[in-house]
Amino acid sequence: MATSDLAATYHDLEVSTSLGNATVHYAEAGNKSEPTLVLLHGFPSSSTQYRDFIPLMADKYHILAPDLPGFGLTKVPSNFQYTFDNITTVISAWLMALGVTSYAPYLFDYGAPVGFRLALENPAAVKAIITQNGNAYDAGFGQDFWKPIFDLWNTSNSQEVREVLRENILTQATTNYQYYQGVPEQDRALVDPEQPVRDYLQNLAGEANQEHQLDLFYDYRTNPEMYPKWHEYMRHSQVPLLAVWGKGDPAFIPAGAEAYKKDLPRAQVHLLEAGHFALETKRWEIAELCRKFLAQVQF
């Protein structure tokens, strides 16, 4: 495959949902006749977090990487309620519009609750799961990182706590922290310093963006409530799963990776010397692990 064939192209697809019409921005690469990988990004990024990973996989797989509602260039109605259920509704409609009926999701951070909702909605479509710092267990929460968000849940979305989060988490400094914390000193220069700046300016700056993100912080409480259903899905389906984790991640700690073995005894777990955005510094190792895993499960 020519090098140009490995590069992503960028598209906008309008989809109709019960919530109104949305326009999903996404990156695409590879041959459509190959198995499809759906890369679901996390907070506070967009599909651009996969910019350097896509060419490492596109020779073998058809790659789709959407911007979730509230991030990147995806557009939703002005009255859109920012919840993980609603985000999933949009992404489900996008997959349907593209005719994707069989795929393996790559779940990262916020991509995990979206991906598991999609799996519950249509388990037959999900042939394998790759989770990279994508949590599905209470044990995976980094307590210090999550305490301010737990406070939001425990105070029923109080305005006072929202302001604390706005001032302390929805900032350029905290975005930088998410990219660099837990990264070994010798690897810090591999992190693209422009990426956290792009994430902040595009997804966190401005009152409207911040209100959307605060709504999602509060709605994240619905994800642990769904964990038993996700665990039941995994136990019942025994879906092949690879958990590859930046073990220096302050948000989702290695115990969350190991926990997958409770419901999927054959799950493969790899802990890497990396932070939350592990692809910034370990994308080559992660691509190799993904390719080996997907070959083993004949995807």
Catalytic positions, please?
276
SS3 letters across 1-51: CCHHHHCCEEEEEEEEECCEEEEEEEEEECCCCCCEEEEECCCCCCHHHHC
86, 12 in Cβ contact below 8 A?
Answer: no
Tokens of 119: 């799996």
Q: Is 72 exposed, middle or buried (0-12, 13-18, 19+ CB in 10 A)?
A: buried
Note the Cα 295 to chain centre separation in Å.
Answer: 22
> Nearest-CA neighbor of 125 among 38, 43, 198, 11?
38
* Distance from C-alpha of 179 to C-alpha of 17, rounded to nearest angstrom: 34
> Nearest-CA neighbor of 93 among 27, 19, 8?
19
- For the residues of 193-208, what is the DSSP string, one character each? THHHHHHIIIIISSHH
Which backbone phi and psi does 40 adopt, to 5 degrees?
A: -110, 120
